[in-house]
Amino acid sequence: MPNYQAPLRDMRFLMNEVLDFPGHYAQLVNGKDATPDMVEAILIEAAKFCEEVLAPLNASGDAEGCHFDQGEVRTPTGFKDAYAQYIAGGWQGLSHPEEFGGQGLPMSLGLIKSEMMGTANWSFTMYPGLSLGCMNTLMQHGDEALKALYMPRLVSGEWTGTMCLTEPQCGTDLGQVSTRAEPQADGSFRISGTKIFISAGEHDLADNIIHIVLARLPDAPPGTRGISLFLVPKHQVDAQGRIGARNGVSCGALEHKMGIKASATAVLNFDGAQGWMLGQAHRGLEAMFTFMNTARIGTAVQGVAHAELSYQGALAYAKERRSMRALSGKKEPSQKADALIWHADVRRMLLTQKCVAEGGRAMIYFAAQYADHMVNGMLAGDDKAYAHWDDKLGFLTPILKGFLTELGLEASSLGMQVFGGHGYIREHGMEQVMRDARISTLYEGTTGIQALDLLGRKVLLLTRGACVREFTADIARFALRHARHRRLRSYCWTLSKLAAEWNYLTTRILLAARKDRELVSAASVDFLMYSGYVSMAYFWAMQAAVAAEKLAKGGAEAREFYEAKLLTADFYFDKLLPRTRGHAEAMLNPHAAMMKLSPEQFAFF
């Protein structure tokens, strides 16, 4: 397994030099305590915990997996102790309200912490990670009594949370949910049904698990309009928050998975389990999107995490492993062969990984500032500001989730490729990174679902292209501002053309979709990937602009770091950004052949 080291230099570069997190935090209601010294202390301690506690459990947790016995689940050796250290460090409540025992710091700090944790050990990170969405949903849609009863222990990490959507007969199509909720005289509900693929659905890390469950009331209309949302604890809880009898929810099995084997993915059976409604009747799907959006951004982090971990492993190997001579001549004449890193194709793979990890990190941190502004609007009681930032984040969310997980998977595959045959062998850990990365493009909505959400819902239905126009206007302003800079002018010219083309493509699809509804589905993934490549180009140009400015001021300090930023940006614009050409052409090309085959014509066995 790669020896994970938190990329603190790159994280500090983005936070302090590119995105001005100190100035950003100064504007927030909950940002006064996020001083530079406090943020630096959090980064250092989080890195220490991830490198020394979580990373050593990554390979062993994968090899051992979770143990299931008569409804009880035991996590791999070391996980329980690591989780106790996680709680003792106060990490779970980092970005949650002080009134419930949290530290009340901005949400972005929690996300940055999660990136380090996820890179060190994604399976472990899923246990506390699902709790974050549970808490956010409860905070927004639970009544004061429920929040007072459950939030303190969720914030401390003593209890964990889940999201229970999927059922055996339905995944994405939640209109088919059949779990029932029967009203009781005391205001509670009896929940009955089966949920599958429940991450962290059962384990031995916490004393109680709080499930957020979609179910139907007896009078529910059909489809998604008839879904309500409920809080269902694993154990009953009295008015003082003490754990009582086991509720009517049990684990029927654990899924046998390709990757993230140390994360318990459970089949949960609800047999008249007592629960309480969150939000309004028949509007559960709307409330669940609070959880879903949190989870989707968290999954986007997974793309960056696996790209980073695979890159660290591949880079170390490429510097040590020797094979043949570089085509341009011997680079290490005293050795029998040159190191892999001298070969152009290996550099192509390494630089692609580096671009994905560092470019994706910039995209995530930028979006995290949107999330901070959104929470700031909520804390300030400014509904208009909350809605504004929620809309801006909503546009980026499917791009982040769909694009970054697809590229994270590609980067993990390239990491194996750098190792050659050794990458296919378990002892090096590179194949585990790819197995763990594979789920990221599937759960919380597949790439196709993210693409439909972006193009069909956010771009065409809700804003008729306005969200693209707004974002590309920012890109155009950046390009204009730096257009005369000798080192940046080529980036700016390219960005200007792409910003215009992104709007053109949006308009073309908008007009064509009036006559051909299937066009939206046929073009959506190409549209998402195009959007992702252009967005990442913008963030690489941002980083290049800061690096160029620092180099212009002279001085030897960090010179190699800034030069590397510029050269990596060159690679992105020269070798990865041209992929937009294929996506642009594909999304506009006729798709008739895609729909004309009958089901029988797909195979002749």
Which residues are known to be catalytic?
444
Whether 413 and 434 have beta carbons less than 8 Å apart is answered as yes
Rounded to an integer, what is the distance from CA 416 to the centroid of its chain?
A: 22
User: Three-class SS of residue 516?
Assistant: coil
In the block, which residue shows the tokens 């759960």?
443
- Reading the block at residue 493, the tokens are 């010219």
In the block, which residue shows the tokens 């771009």?
459
Whether 153 and 159 have beta carbons less than 8 Å apart is answered as yes
Terminal Cα-to-Cα distance of the chain (whole angstroms):
42
Phi/psi at 292 (5° precision) = -60, -45
Which distant-in-sequence residues (6+ apart) come within 8 Å of 242 by Cβ?
Answer: none
Q: How far is CA 350 from CA 47, 402, 498, 568, in A?
A: 23, 22, 26, 10
Q: Which candidate, 394, 395, 377, places its Cα nearest to that of 386?
A: 377
Cα separation, 138 vs 212, whole angstroms: 9
Rounded to an integer, what is the distance from CA 205 to the centroid of its chain?
A: 23
Cα separation, 243 vs 579, whole angstroms: 55
Q: How far is CA 294 from CA 267, 359, 370, 408, in A?
A: 22, 21, 13, 19
Whether 380 and 312 have beta carbons less than 8 Å apart is answered as no
- Reading the block at residue 17, the tokens are 């030099």
Cα separation, 372 vs 520, whole angstroms: 32
Q: Which candidate, 384, 339, 288, 302, places its Cα nearest to that of 125?
A: 302
Cα separation, 76 vs 262, whole angstroms: 6
Q: Would you list the DSSP string of 279-320?
A: SSTT-HHHHHHHHHHHHHHHHHHHHHHHHHHHHHHHHHHHHH
Cα separation, 436 vs 34, whole angstroms: 33
Cα separation, 291 vs 132, whole angstroms: 8
Q: How far is CA 37 from CA 22, 23, 43, 93, in A?
A: 10, 14, 10, 19
Q: Would you list the DSSP string of 366-378?
A: HHHHHHHHHHHHH
Which distant-in-sequence residues (6+ apart) come within 8 Å of 388 by Cβ?
Answer: 377
Whether 361 and 11 have beta carbons less than 8 Å apart is answered as yes
Which distant-in-sequence residues (6+ apart) come within 8 Å of 468 by Cβ?
Answer: 459, 502, 503, 506, 531
